[in-house]
A and B are shown apart, each in its own frame.
Chain A
Amino acid sequence: MKNEWPLWEVFIRGQHGLAHRHVGSLHAPDAEMAIRHARDVYTRRNEGVSIWVVKASDIAASAPGEKEPLFDPSNAKIYRHPTFYDIPDEVGHM
């Protein structure tokens, strides 16, 4: 009988003030057990102060094939970066 525990993606906040970051995945029967397992598997050396777990099947992701249409247009918009504008030295730091 196939009765495999579902897959969970694990996110850890490394320090106070930082965002949660994806660290890996694991199998667990439910969210509560997933957090317990995440603690053992991903924070054995004080790596975190907070854990999020998300069922892998609940994550929607952009398709790899869409990479160009999604992200290329921003390449051309160089005026979004501060270095696009020349401010004279006399004005001082801006």
Chain B
Amino acid sequence: MYAQMVKSTGERPKTLDEMSPEERAFQARVDADIKIEPKEWMPEGYRKTLIRQIGQHAHSEIVGQLPEGNWITRAPTLDRKAILIAKVQDEAGHGLYLYCAAETLGISRDEMTEQLLSGKAKYSSIFNYPTLTWADIGAIGWLVDGAAIMNQVQLQKCSYGPYSRAMVRICKEESFHQRQGYDIMMKLCAGNAEQKEMAQDALNRWWWPSLMMFGPSDKDSVHSAQSMAWKIKPMSNDELRQKFVDQTAPQAEYLGLKIPDPVLKWNEAKKGYDFGEIDWNEFYEVLKGDGPCNKERMAARRKAWTDGQWFRDGLMAHARKKRARKMAAE
């Protein structure tokens, strides 16, 4: 997802007997769906796992602006351009809500930025694919934001108060993202043969990477087991992926587009779609840094950070001077 393969403690969740009294009281609150708030006692593993997860999520929102930003100057109409700017601006906002949520756990914003720029912190694999045509902007809104919504809706129930509240806010804004993407696809599919072909080509390229967003099956993962026990990962990767396929296949059909999976077929018995095997080698390559755009994305983030240094420092110097002047006058 936006947070893929988040490592937890690496150990299976403790049984109630193995827990200290503090841990037991904490788990009881989580089990009773009482939100955990910043200054309250929490297990160190809970805190660290959340920092990793929220950090990855925030970095994904920020890096995710790059592939879409690529089309702002070339949007086909002024309306589409205004919409795309608003959408990309929302993603910046999402990043900021999430960074703030992570900071309540005792990590600073600069530390998180440094972790992203050094490659220590990850962001979603999906943003390492290029946006080659305007149809890619449609496909991203429809599929990538669609997959993100699937994940974020369940995260509203997350046990950590600030993260859960950020998710509520984000979910309110996301549905416009998906709908504007689908709207672009509808327009292209109602156009001439070449435009429809463009839409099909975008779907062909974005379908599998979108399914990879949910991460590999985590049914045997100790990390996921612990995160689920702490309610910072309410649903499994496979469950979410299945829901996404079930939701999206009819939408593709409506557009008259073909999902690039020969195995995809409705299964009446399970009341869901069967679908083909994902190329996990590709996923691990991209995650490792060898996707089509990893280097470009990181270079863009580093450049933005270094080029902005004088501006950040300048405003701080100005604020300090202003304060000193005000104090001298008092």
Contacts and interface: CB of A to CB of B under 8 A. Distances in A.
Interface of A: 2-5, 7, 24-27, 29-30, 33, 40-41, 44-45, 61, 63-64
B318 A29 contact: yes
B93 A64 contact: no
20 contacts: A3-B312, A3-B316, A4-B108, A4-B109, A4-B110, A24-B97, A25-B100, A26-B100, A27-B109, A29-B318, A30-B315, A30-B322, A33-B315, A41-B96, A41-B97, A44-B93, A45-B173, A64-B39, A64-B40, A64-B41
B315 A63 contact: no
B239 interface: no
Nearest to A67: B40
Nearest to B103: A7
A26 B319 CA distance: 16
Interface in B129-172: 165-166, 169
B61 to A, nearest CB: 12
Contact of A2 (B89, B93, B96, B110): B110
A29 B316 contact: yes
B319 A29 contact: yes
Interface of B: 37, 39-41, 86, 89-90, 93, 96-97, 100, 103, 108-110, 165-166, 169, 173, 312-313, 315-316, 318-319, 322-323
B84 to A, nearest CB: 14
B315 A5 contact: yes
A33 to B, nearest CB: 7
Nearest to A9: B100
Given A3-B316, A64-B41, 7 more contacts: A7-B103, A24-B166, A24-B169, A26-B96, A33-B315, A40-B93, A44-B173
Main secondary structure of the interface of B (DSSP, over half): helix
Nearest to B111: A4
A41 B93 contact: yes
A5 B312 contact: yes
A33 B96 CA distance: 15
B173 to A, nearest CB: 8
Contact of B89 (A24, A44, A64): A44
Contacts of B323: 30
A30 B318 CA distance: 9
A12 to B, nearest CB: 12
Contacts of B173: 44-45
Contacts of A44: 86, 89-90, 93, 173
Contacts of B96: 26, 41
A61 B39 contact: yes
A24 B99 CA distance: 11
Contacts of B97: 24, 41
Nearest to B166: A24
A4 B315 CA distance: 11
Contacts of B108: 4
Q: Closest 3 A-B residue pairs measured CB to CB?
A: A30-B319, A29-B315, A29-B319
A61 B108 CA distance: 20
Contacts of A40: 89, 93
B303 to A, nearest CB: 19
A5 B311 CA distance: 11
Contacts of A33: 315, 319
Name the residue among A24, A26, A44 with the largest chain B CB count within 10 angstroms: A24
Nearest to B41: A64
Contacts of A45: 173
B226 to A, nearest CB: 24
A45 B178 CA distance: 17
Nearest to B36: A64
Contacts of A41: 93, 96-97
